[in-house]
Chain A
């Protein structure tokens, strides 16, 4: 620890005087428990998360990647997070560049700068990170300095960010990013920067945006995507076997309370429930479970070396894990002995899930996501939860001692009518009445309503996004109907959803908009206290970008999308088939335990579901 601060190039002496001028200086210390030691002279990789420390340090993907890279011989991987606004002000005032947490050396002097792209509202923070590292934000203007690589969930449609990154890692990066680091390390000093980038772009799963060229029709739609003739025309995401990657094995324990202040252990990746709005459910296919004994081993070992008092079994739908009963039963005893609580996020709304979750943690709250209040609309979404199941779930939850029930709904869904929205309060009242009818005191209902944003690589990628005026009307309707005791209503800012929608299905022309918005001061756009919609409106106007074109237009069936050349599993044909089925409220069953319906995820990735147990 002390040695890394005194390492050549460390900015610690300049940073330390700033620490008492900013809120929560521990964000900038590094040296947390289990933080890796870096070696001077190693090939240097810095991985970044474009939000403040407390958010970024909770990110499982970043923790996995850092550990994977640190295992490579002669390579040190450090972290950096967005400095909070007060720290950024100090850094700019004192002309101190962005620094890594582990050695406090400038990020700009590393060899590879990997930036996680978690969601659309962090795009301006990404530009800010590059700028604070004293690097030109546009890839075309960078002649030297680290190779900037984007990865994570946001690479599902990286096109709006294409101008700013040298390379993207598509899909799960455990193997491909490590291969990239090895290659760049081997070529360092032997070839020029551009040659190294070109070589790296040949690695499967690595995407160099300049290898593809877009042309546009007069009406703004994409005319064609032309491959410029590099070697990696087949751009498929990479997938890994979770049993071969038991990471992170030494989770870093932050000094402060992080947003997910617990040990997070993945039990499986992928989900084939087939919810048509869910991007993660589409792009992480097929399902790959981790063996139960390895899950248990990881948890026991990590608890001993971290000291956490809570462990979360992470996945897209925890109770779908075929070994959930066994794991929960085994862990209950272990965790009781170790005084550790177990939580299961992402629960299905049914009695089985409630039984499992309540057995772990009797009191407190439980969260479900029915998404829509009418059975018809839930069929459109392919999330066919019956009302009887919902009632069973909430009654069981209350019987098990839950005093708060959180329900997630969306408005602005495809085919949604005012009636569907007005059913939300009615459904909540029916659930409350059903609890009362069982002689139980109704819990507090926390209702969270978000505005639906159609996403790339989902069956709803052809849909128009609801207009601001319509969303406002629906929110008003809900606010007036849900002003009752015991029901707390909250919603996502519809203006934020608009920017999210603009970028989620955006193309390369939006790079200018992002840059303009950032230059006008946009950052931390997912934070209500920092978000300014007017900046985005002005930026679109200045760059001749019509928000309506990207948001409120239903796409033609054969329209070329900016992400069509990037293959994340399900084929476009399958997605369109699903879209048609959605419009006629037809259900598609989970292929995990039934017949294959040919989504293409298994064939395209030469992998199939990897289940460790039998259907529950």
Chain B
């Protein structure tokens, strides 16, 4: 089996429960070792030291949950997606669920080169007054052409304009549970990355939210997309010239 055979098993997974504290590399290492245990017909690459040939979706920060972690396993021959899903699930720890899978033939780019946009939902405890303020802050955000946030990294401090990378931003109030839901569609992947936490922190800064509110923020990655001509297309729906697709 060689890496030249481009049949791919694309799998959509969740990241939930305590496993949301895994880093990007820890999460994919866990999935890859599960794949190895499950006996999928995986393709390996490397002259001296064999490595599993895979491609995966953009990093998810530690602490975020997700229902759209995507990985392409390059496989040597066709395997029924349902069977692959079953066997992979048996070998995954609690907190990672296989949600969908499909076999993709040649012609489709690996998932790591497809994704450029993500849909995130941030929830936080907040009362009606704060929710109103947030609506106003979101409107101001969307009416601006420049929104700068300070990104502090170990070796640099930069002011970054995040406005261009935010394509949709909405706030909704769930009065029954005194929660706000902030939905955002942002650049995530090949076109650059907007950190959802920076958007949330910016808005909470504008409304001068209490630290107690900030503590309750939970962010969930709902979906990943490829943006084609303004349309958002799920990598699980991307058409490939494949007899296995769909």
Contact = CB atoms under 8 A, between A and B. Distances in A.
Contact of B48 (A2, A5, A20, A362): A362
Contact of A257 (B17, B29, B34, B63): B29
Nearest to B39: A304
A401 B49 CA distance: 13
A12 to B, nearest CB: 9
B62 interface: yes
B62 A341 contact: no
B33 A26 contact: no
A433 to B, nearest CB: 27
A26 B48 contact: no
A2 B94 contact: yes
A341 B49 contact: yes
B243 to A, nearest CB: 27
Given A33-B93, A307-B37, A339 B26 contact: no
Given A25-B21, A255-B30, A1 B63 contact: no
A16 B20 CA distance: 11
B37 A256 contact: no
A309 B36 contact: yes
Contacts of A16: 18
Given A33-B33, A257-B29, A307-B34, A26 B49 contact: no
A1 B96 CA distance: 13
A31 B18 contact: yes
Contacts of B63: 19-20
B18 A29 contact: yes
Contacts of A305: 37
B141 interface: no
Which one of A26, A31, A304, A362 has the highest number of Cβ atoms from chain B below 10 Å of its Cβ? A26
Given A253-B33, A308-B33, A364-B48, A31 B23 contact: no
Given A20-B62, A309-B50, A361-B48, A26 B34 contact: no
Contact of B21 (A29, A33, A304, A339): A29
Contacts of A1: 18, 93-94
Interface string A289-313: 0000000000000001111110000
B22 to A, nearest CB: 5
A34 to B, nearest CB: 10
B26 A256 contact: yes
Interface residues of B, number: 32
Contacts, number: 78
Contacts of A307: 32-37, 91
Contacts of A362: 48
B44 interface: yes
A364 B42 CA distance: 24
B47 interface: yes
A26 B37 contact: no
Contacts of B30: 33, 255
A361 B91 CA distance: 29
A24 B62 CA distance: 9
Contact of A255 (B26, B47, B48, B91): B26
A5 B95 CA distance: 14
Interface string B1-43: 0000000000000000111011101110110111111000010
B34 to A, nearest CB: 7
A363 interface: yes
Contacts of B215: 17
Contacts of B47: 363
Contact of B22 (A17, A26, A341): A26
A253 B32 CA distance: 12
A16 B93 CA distance: 19
Nearest to B36: A307
A114 to B, nearest CB: 26
A364 B93 contact: no
Interface string A10-46: 0000001101100011100101110000000000000
A306 B62 contact: no
A255 B22 contact: yes
A304 B35 CA distance: 11
A257 B33 CA distance: 12
A31 B50 contact: no
B44 A339 contact: yes
Given A25-B21, A31-B93, A364-B48, A255 B29 contact: yes
Given A307-B34, A307-B37, A19 B49 contact: no
Interface in A338-368: 339, 341, 361-364
Given A2-B94, A29-B18, A255-B29, A24 B23 contact: yes
Interface string A420-436: 00000000000000000
Nearest to B50: A339
Q: Which of B19, B36, B48 has the most CB of A within 10 A?
A: B36
Contacts of A26: 21-23, 26
Contact of B49 (A5, A31, A306, A364): A364
B92 to A, nearest CB: 9
Interface string B210-238: 00000100000000000000000000000
Nearest to A256: B26
A305 B38 CA distance: 9
Contacts of A364: 48-49
Interface in A233-262: 253, 255-257
Contacts of B26: 26, 255-256
B37 A306 contact: yes
A284 B53 CA distance: 42
Contacts of A5: 18
A305 B91 CA distance: 9
A2 B95 CA distance: 10
Contacts of B95: 31
Nearest to B49: A341
Contact of A19 (B21, B52, B91): B21
Nearest to B32: A307
A311 to B, nearest CB: 13
A341 B37 contact: no
A32 B17 CA distance: 13
Nearest to B27: A255
A17 B63 CA distance: 11
A304 B51 CA distance: 17
B201 to A, nearest CB: 14
Interface in A347-401: 361-364, 401
A167 B225 CA distance: 60
Contacts of A363: 47-49
Interface in A568-598: none
A588 to B, nearest CB: 39
Nearest to B35: A307
A240 B25 CA distance: 39
Contacts of B51: 309
B50 to A, nearest CB: 5
Interface of B: 17-19, 21-23, 25-27, 29-30, 32-37, 42, 44, 47-52, 62-63, 91, 93-95, 215
24 contacts: A1-B93, A1-B94, A5-B18, A19-B21, A20-B62, A24-B23, A26-B21, A29-B18, A253-B33, A255-B22, A255-B26, A256-B23, A256-B26, A304-B37, A307-B32, A307-B33, A307-B34, A309-B36, A309-B50, A339-B52, A341-B49, A362-B48, A363-B49, A364-B48
Counting from the closest, the 6 A-B pairs by CB-CB distance are: A307-B33, A363-B48, A307-B36, A25-B21, A307-B37, A255-B26
Given A256-B29, A257-B25, A362-B48, 6 more contacts: A1-B94, A20-B63, A307-B37, A339-B36, A339-B52, A361-B48
Interface of A: 1-2, 5, 16-17, 19-20, 24-26, 29, 31-33, 253, 255-257, 304-309, 339, 341, 361-364, 401
